[in-house]
Amino acid sequence: MTGPEERGGISDRTGMLAAILIAPAVAYIAAMIGVPLVMAVLYSLSDATTGDPSHHYAGLVNFRAALADPVFRLALKNTFVFALLSQSIVIVLSRLLASALATPFRGKWAVRFLVMLPWTAPIALGAIGWLWMYDSIYSPFDWLYRRAGLLGKPGDLFGAMSNIYWLGRPTLAMASVVIVHVWRLLPLATVIQLAGLSAIPGEILEAAEIDGAHGWRKSVWITIPLTLPIVAIAFLFGIVFTFTDMTVVYVLTRGGPVNATQVLSTWTFFKGIEGGDLAQGAAISLFMFPVLAAIAALLLRMARRAEVT
């Protein structure tokens, strides 16, 4: 660069200025994300507790203890089950919803506002709404089933008890958590899919129509292949959010009944913060890291490919 860049003064020396401007953000990220990440690793290799946070190297004892713990193994399995199951459902539903929202109709803003609510409202408060819907006595679902004659009398389809106890039975509690994850991430995936759909050039679709591709044919041969990268992005971010989420399980079940819905994040919290075993908690949380690193690598590859095209 010549010309205006050559005037004196610090604010005009390019390389220097570029470094000075970016330094505060980089320093903050290093101090508040980088250092804690390293600390988490150090904690996991120590015997630190809330009562005695000093470090004594303890090797892999925390990781061994975690792997030997049946609750940890259940939490690990649940974390994968919740994330994969809910996001598979979300991908299908968000495509249906996105294609509906892509067509013009009256009252679109109101509809959009309503279907986006689960993402735009704080999740802890949404989850509290669900907790009241899953209530063991006053659940509106149970009331509907009772009215429909499916519940509450001997011989009824859902049993003779007057209530389902959504969060009281292991399998149902797991299903309840998955439903809330689907509800929460459907809006985000939908908006991402909408962006993908609107990016398909109109002439491609017109050409397909002229060649006689309608309905499902158009989907299978044109829209699905063309939007595959964006669907993958929606899926990967959905996995990140569900895989690392603690709020839904914490608010709905606290990991119960009898640890049936425990996930890595809640187990980290109960062990590390409530139980005071920092070292054990840190080790449990680090089991999330390989998955997140793999997702980061995938996203990077996709970003690079997007730059090439």
Partner 1 sequence: MGGIRKNLERGGLYARLLLFVTFSAFPFYWMVIATFKRDHDLYAPANNPFIFNEPPTLSHLRTLLSETHFLTYLSNTFLVGAAVAAVTLLLAVPAAYSLARWARRWGEILGIGIFLTYLVPPTILFIPLSRFTADWGLQNSLWSLILVYPTFTIPFCTWLLMGFFKAIPRDIEEQAMVDGLSRLGALVRVVLPLSISGLLTVVVFSFTLSMHEFIYALTFISDSAAKTVSIGVPTELVRGDVFQWGPLMAGALIASIPVAVVYTFFLDRFVSGFTMGAVK
Residue 231: how many other CB atoms lie within 10 Å: 18
Q: Please provide residue 57's backbone torsions phi and psi, each rounded to the nearest 5 degrees.
A: -60, 130
Contact in structure between 236 and 299 (CB atoms under 8 Å): yes
Alpha-carbon span 39 to 252, nearest angstrom: 30
- Report 204-243 residues binding partner 1 (CB under 8 A): 229-230, 233, 237, 240
Contact in structure between 169 and 289 (CB atoms under 8 Å): no
Under the binding rule (CB under 8 A), the answer on residue 162 touching partner 1 is: yes
Dihedral sign, CA of 18, 23, 26, 29?
negative
Residue of 67, 148, 160, 199 interacting with partner 1 (CB under 8 A): 199
Contact in structure between 252 and 131 (CB atoms under 8 Å): yes
Under the binding rule (CB under 8 A), the answer on residue 255 touching partner 1 is: no
Under the binding rule (CB under 8 A), the answer on residue 76 touching partner 1 is: no
Piece in contact with partner 1 (CB under 8 A), picked from 69-77, 153-161, 165-173, 295-303: 295-303
CB of 8 to partner 1, least distance (A): 10
Residue of 123, 164, 178, 260 interacting with partner 1 (CB under 8 A): 123
Tokens (6 digits) for 197: 């759909």
CB of 103 to partner 1, least distance (A): 6
- Report 54-73 residues binding partner 1 (CB under 8 A): none
Three-class SS state of 46: strand
Alpha-carbon span 96 to 192, nearest angstrom: 13
Residue of 66, 127, 167, 260 interacting with partner 1 (CB under 8 A): 127
CB of 218 to partner 1, least distance (A): 14
Tokens (6 digits) for 112: 């959009």
Residue of 80, 129, 169, 222 interacting with partner 1 (CB under 8 A): 129
Q: Which is nearer to partner 1, 174 or 299 (CB)?
A: 299
Under the binding rule (CB under 8 A), the answer on residue 16 touching partner 1 is: no
Alpha-carbon span 250 to 263, nearest angstrom: 9
Three-class SS state of 57: strand
Q: Which is nearer to partner 1, 111 or 208 (CB)?
A: 111
Piece in contact with partner 1 (CB under 8 A), picked from 66-74, 80-88, 166-174, 285-293: 285-293
The amino acid sitting at 60 is: L
Closest CA to 81 of 211, 223, 260, 226: 260
Contact in structure between 119 and 184 (CB atoms under 8 Å): yes
Q: Which is nearer to partner 1, 18 or 220 (CB)?
A: 18
- Report 179-198 residues binding partner 1 (CB under 8 A): 183, 186-188, 191-192, 195-196
CB of 59 to partner 1, least distance (A): 19
Under the binding rule (CB under 8 A), the answer on residue 113 touching partner 1 is: yes
CB of 272 to partner 1, least distance (A): 5
CB of 265 to partner 1, least distance (A): 4
Alpha-carbon span 239 to 254, nearest angstrom: 21
Output the DSSP codes for 62-109: HHHHHHH-HHHHHHHHHHHHHHHHHHHHHHHHHHHHHHHHHS--TTHH
Piece in contact with partner 1 (CB under 8 A), picked from 61-69, 204-212, 253-261, 280-288: 280-288
Residue of 22, 92, 160, 207 interacting with partner 1 (CB under 8 A): 22
CB of 158 to partner 1, least distance (A): 15
